[in-house]
């Protein structure tokens, strides 16, 4: 039976960080593989958010950057793997939490429609969203958190390091939202809930779990609802 992190004092820092690095590399390979597959299969595909940038090199740069950004984060005791094993209940938990977190976003879309072309269509979506998940985690979570870990005094509590990072992505999403002001504030609240949940998961279970939660959220919000909304709302 898998024990809670606090119940595993025998694991060394080196063991925890190596386990975390292996899982980060696994997620990075998954993201780069998906980006490469999409580049080969659909080279002319338009990628939301990236603008004129190409997905594959962006994903590769973020993978390398993410590995270095994790160093100061590990030294603060964050993002380490403190559990002995991962079971189906962890995967199902991430899946269920992702579904719950998608509900507020879907509710906003039902009242104030987001743009029709907001999501990438199937089947490209199945490769795009795992790749962009890595990019989002590195830019919105690892980059600011690494800076805070480097600059903050050693005695700074973990929650104080995480708190400002929660709001980086919500502010970005609010700024790029083109809908009414009330919709923008609701987007801020919805994305803040997702971001806070992810950072709590990162604190407890590491980067792979945090990225897994984002992929789960993307599955319900961008992929499943993204396909349904076209026939329901337009």
The per-residue pLDDT for 86 is 56
The per-residue pLDDT for 5 is 42
The per-residue pLDDT for 3 is 38
Task: Measure CA of the first residue to CA of the last residue in the chain; give whole Å.
Answer: 49
Count of domains forming the chain = 1
143-158 b/e (C-beta count within 10 Å ≥ 16 → b) = bbbbebbeeeeeeeee
The one-character DSSP state at 121 is: P
The per-residue pLDDT for 12 is 74
Average pLDDT, 10 consecutive residues per value, the chain (234 residues): 41 77 95 95 74 90 98 92 63 93 97 89 91 98 97 93 97 92 96 98 93 97 93 85
Cα–Cα distance, 35 to 136 (Å, whole number): 14
> What is the residue range of 192's domain?
5-233
């Amino acid at each position: 039976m898998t024990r809670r992190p606090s119940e595993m004092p025998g694991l060394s820092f080196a063991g925890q960080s190596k386990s975390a690095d292996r899982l980060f590399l696994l997620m990075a390979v998954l993201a780069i593989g998906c980006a490469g597959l999409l580049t080969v299969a659909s080279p002319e595909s338009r990628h939301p958010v990236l603008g004129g940038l190409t997905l594959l090199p962006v994903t590769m740069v973020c993978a390398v950057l993410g590995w270095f950004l994790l160093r100061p984060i590990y030294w603060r005791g964050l993002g380490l793997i403190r559990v002995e094993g991962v079971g189906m209940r962890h995967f199902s938990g991430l899946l269920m939490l992702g579904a719950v977190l998608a509900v507020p976003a879907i509710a906003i879309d039902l009242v104030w429609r987001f743009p029709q072309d907001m999501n990438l269509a199937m089947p490209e979506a199945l490769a795009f969203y795992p790749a962009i998940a890595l990019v989002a985690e590195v830019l919105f979570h690892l980059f600011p958190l690494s800076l805070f870990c480097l600059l903050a005094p050693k005695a700074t509590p973990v929650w104080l390091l995480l708190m400002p990072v929660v709001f980086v992505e919500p502010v970005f999403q609010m700024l790029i939202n083109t809908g009414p002001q009330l919709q923008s504030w609701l987007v801020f609240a919805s994305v803040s809930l997702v971001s806070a949940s992810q950072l709590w998961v990162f604190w407890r279970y590491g980067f792979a779990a945090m990225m897994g939660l984002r992929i789960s959220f993307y599955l319900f919000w961008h992929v499943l609802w993204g396909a349904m909304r076209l026939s329901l709302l337009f």
